[in-house]
Amino acid sequence: MADSQPTLNSLAAKITELSETFTRYLKDNNIQQPTFAADSPTSYSSLSPEAFVTRQLLADALSDLWYLSQGPSESIYNYVHSCIPDASALNILNHFDFWSAVPLDGTASYPEIAQRVSLPEDVVRRVLRHAVTLRLFEETDPGKSSSNIRHTSRSAALARNAGLKALVSSVLDVASAPMMVMPEALRKYSRGKPALTQDMDETSFALLYSGGKLGNHKTSWDLLENDGEGENKGWRQRDFVSFMAYIKEIFHLEGVLLDAYDWKAVGKASVVDVGGSAGHDAFALAQKFPELTITVQDLPQVQTVFEANVPEDLKDRVSFVAHDFFQPQPVQADIYIIKLILHDWPDHEAVKMLRAMIPGLKPGARLVLIEYIGNQGETEEPALARSIQNMGTASDLRIMALFNARERPVDAWAKIFRDADERFELAHVNANPLTFISVVEFVWRG
């Protein structure tokens, strides 16, 4: 109905109302508002779930205002024209570490930056001229060729935070090119079929990397482990480790693992963190529960980051073993954590991984699956803000491109465990839409 449609003015009024609610919350809770200045806070610290939702409703209204102010055709044109150059500029700045080529409390000239990032000055000027339109850096004398460059809060956040930098590298540098060949991969492998191909040789990623010029890599894990020469080999995996730790920080997920299970009640127990990265979760868990002994398993290139970071006082209780989780599980433990692992694999691969666990499982062993709920399934709840849904749908498409995988609701996880073996008994489900995390616990009845 036409009269229920938002208009420029109704959206502007909604934006005013939502920003007032949001800024009142910030004031009442002494949370400092970021600005564009380089010394601004780099994020809003500890928003309540309600304030987070208000902010995302504000983001929805702002994007609607943008769409309507441009009109249907130009909003498409303008988006298509800029979205890839915007992403590419950010990716280049990040890849060549422009962030540390400009001092946080001063300025740098274009020639100085060019020298520090080892790129031609003309390229540096062109990339930065686009970047400043996105409030990534700014010119001291806008438009003048003699202008110097200084940080804004957005570029400074990347200079200050290695985790944010690793996030840009892992998401943009590794995953964006495969996403651009998705139409070709879908046309080649899934067109006219009732379902997406589940073959890992038929992902967009595998298609992009099959020609050899970019290296022959079947999955992004293979690229992460093997890209780079000599000492540099595995640099992308080390970046990914930093990205995983940062995800925990930005989404305030510290409590998720600690609350996922009654760790105190189990007392003295052995735990395996399957695909546990460089131990960021294991360290937190072992620190809080001194009776736990934890083995972290992950791919070989992760080990150096683990060794560099394992706290001295945990060395006798937390260890790292390089282990491919498609090979038989070598450790017989009381509890296995499988956190943010299986969503990266299509159903049959997830089943294969769970079957590989069986040789290590003793009767009564627990498997604690922790996954992001990117897909809530059918629900009676009111629809989430579009910008929140978009976080889930974006990662769903990314894992489609990389792995032919999908974000799954809780029911689908239960089915995967059943398909792997009837002896996996579902013991407990805790799906929290506010943290977007589901914890599903299984007991091995072998």
Ligand X SMILES: C[S@@+](CC[C@H](N)C(=O)[O-])C[C@H]1O[C@@H](n2cnc3c(N)ncnc32)[C@H](O)[C@@H]1O
Q: Which residues bind ligand X (CB under 6 A)?
A: 221, 244, 275-277, 281, 298-299, 302, 324-326, 339-341
Find the shortest distance in angstroms from Cβ 391 to ligand X.
15
Alpha helices in 358-423 (DSSP H): 386-403, 410-420
Nearer to ligand X by Cβ, of 139 and 227: the residue is: 227
What are the φ/ψ torsions at residue 160 (nearest 5 degrees)?
-90, -20
Nearer to ligand X by Cβ, of 165 and 339: the residue is: 339
Strand partners, 212: 215
Nearer to ligand X by Cβ, of 127 and 253: the residue is: 253
Find the shortest distance in angstroms from Cβ 342 to ligand X.
9
Find the shortest distance in angstroms from Cβ 368 to ligand X.
11
Closest residue to ligand X in the complex (CB): 275
What are the φ/ψ torsions at residue 320 (nearest 5 degrees)?
-115, 135
In sequence order, the 6+-apart residues with CB closer than 8 A to the CB of 133 are none
Q: Which long-range contacts (CB under 8 A, 24 or more apart) does 121-128 make?
A: 124/98, 127/89, 127/92, 127/93, 127/98, 128/93, 128/98
Q: How far apart are CA 352 and CA 355, in angstroms?
A: 5
Three-state secondary-structure class, residue 128: helix
Find the shortest distance in angstroms from Cβ 110 to ligand X.
38
| Spatial contact of 322 and 299, defined as CB atoms under 8 Å apart | yes
Nearer to ligand X by Cβ, of 341 and 354: the residue is: 341
Element of type H or E holding 242: helix 235-250
Find the shortest distance in angstroms from Cβ 243 to ligand X.
9
Nearer to ligand X by Cβ, of 154 and 280: the residue is: 280
Find the shortest distance in angstroms from Cβ 234 to ligand X.
10
Nearer to ligand X by Cβ, of 113 and 274: the residue is: 274
